[in-house]
Structure 1
């Protein structure tokens, strides 16, 4: 039976080595701040070095490393370097993503492929890379950032590549969980609702779009900064030790109807 001491430490990520992709802005930056504040050794990666440098200045001890998640060789080198530097990798937050809202009939095929490459292929590749040391250690947690648009369509906006990639991330999460969980590595996803970010900025600056979103959300508002922190810490900590292959919607009830 779990003792009081264990219960108090359920959400403890202190000292855990956790890689966060897309950490230079938006949700990724928020995740990096939250995990750093919780005591984790955060390895924050993104393409924009100047923003990573600012993040590192705000979070002393955070390890900031430039990375293009579509560069498979660079991803492999990063995971190897992190494992050598710290001797372990405890968690990965696959957050990097892109979207290009457009009617499907007008979306450029090369752009569709790019979205799939960033939002899906990189998730598979990085997950597989970190799984090797995690499986050897028989412990680890991968958290994939999906979207409520992976649970339904982007109507009336229109963003087929984004919706397809995020739906695929959700089923990829299930499949990797099925393959690795018996060996100690859990894989879960978070499906955020509407949170302000560079990619979603238009939804917040357009009064009409913002009103449409809030009316479709049972809580009648969009997400506030920090309201995803609990979900990501939960899935990276021992509090979720029997949770794998799950997708946690953090969306104010949007996906409930």
Structure 2
């Protein structure tokens, strides 16, 4: 059965810039009612003023009360949620010891804890809207473990959480997808470090991830890598670990940074 997005209700976190902003635009463009959630109210209101069908809602995904309030609003105003896109995330920094602990825990809380909180808050609404979709924006870093350690750990967590729920929530009519972007240039992830190397040509823009979100909503896929060629790196990691490690050690991000 074709999943028709027109008139369906979507919630997108991290919606004030980058992949979130592009995703809101893409979903609103195909006729969805989109609750755009993030911390920066001014940007959300500007987005809503530009795009009919976008509902701005200020929320921090590390605050359970704020996430519950978002779910309560969607319940009161729409009664269901057909699509939840967990996109809110931060990059984190190098982890060398005790001085970096707070940054690491914050990264884990936003990137992984935020996904868990949102899925807990919206589970019943998603079931009410079945067949419904969850798209958790993870990362190729959640498959390879290179770059800032806490960021990689958080994305590995999102991948595992998504994979497990893709199995256990299927009977509820809810499809859970792990969407794994490669290097994407955004306000929070400028990719300046990568762009100084020959790999700079691999850096993509948020629109290609937004298109992938729309695609997995329609198709019901449970895993997607974007751009697709990054799957080769993941395959190499599992089939030829020594070769992968030799290559990874030569990359700038093997030092645990992303700047």
Q: Which TM-score tier does this pair reach, normalised by the shorter chain?
A: 0.7 to 0.9
- The answer to whether structure 1 residue 92 and structure 2 residue 68 are counterparts is no
Q: Report the CA distance between 1:64 and its aligned residue.
A: 0.4
Tell me the residue number matched to 1:228: 209
How many residues are matched? 233
Note the alpha carbon deviations across 1:209-230, whole angstroms, 9 max, x for none: 3143626xxxx43213421233
Secondary structure at 1:253's aligned position in 2? helix
- The answer to whether structure 1 residue 254 and structure 2 residue 230 are counterparts is yes
Change (3 A) 1:17 1:138: closer
The ranges of structure 1 where at least 4 consecutive aligned residues each deviate by more than 4 angstroms after the TM superposition are none
Q: Measure, in 1, the Cα distance between the counterparts of 2:56 and 2:70.
A: 11
- The answer to whether structure 1 residue 210 and structure 2 residue 195 are counterparts is yes
Contact 2:112/2:155, CA 8 A, preserved across alignment = yes
Q: Which residues of 2 match residues 118-197 of structure 1 at below 5 A?
A: 118-154=110-146, 158-197=147-186
Indicate the larger mover: 39-48 or 170-179. 170-179
RMSD: 1.9
**What are the ranges of 5 or more consecutive residues in structure 2 without an aligned counterpart?**
234-259
Tell me the residue number matched to 1:3: none
Tell me the residue number matched to 1:60: 52
**What are the ranges of 5 or more consecutive residues in structure 1 without an aligned counterpart?**
1-5
Change (3 A) 1:188 1:104: farther
Secondary structure at 1:226's aligned position in 2? helix
Secondary structure at 2:144's aligned position in 1? coil
Note the alpha carbon deviations across 1:145-173, whole angstroms, 9 max, x for none: 0011001122xxx3000000001100000
Secondary structure at 1:144's aligned position in 2? strand
Q: Report the CA distance between 1:137 and its aligned residue.
A: 4.5
Q: 1:28 aligns with which of 17, 20, 33?
A: 20
Change (3 A) 1:33 1:213: farther
- The answer to whether structure 1 residue 200 and structure 2 residue 194 are counterparts is no
Change (3 A) 1:58 1:192: same
Q: Report the CA distance between 1:138 and its aligned residue.
A: 3.9
Q: Report the CA distance between 1:136 and its aligned residue.
A: 3.9
Tell me the residue number matched to 1:80: 72
Secondary structure at 1:191's aligned position in 2? strand
Q: Measure, in 2, the Cα distance between the counterparts of 1:138 and 1:48.
A: 31
Secondary structure at 2:5's aligned position in 1? coil
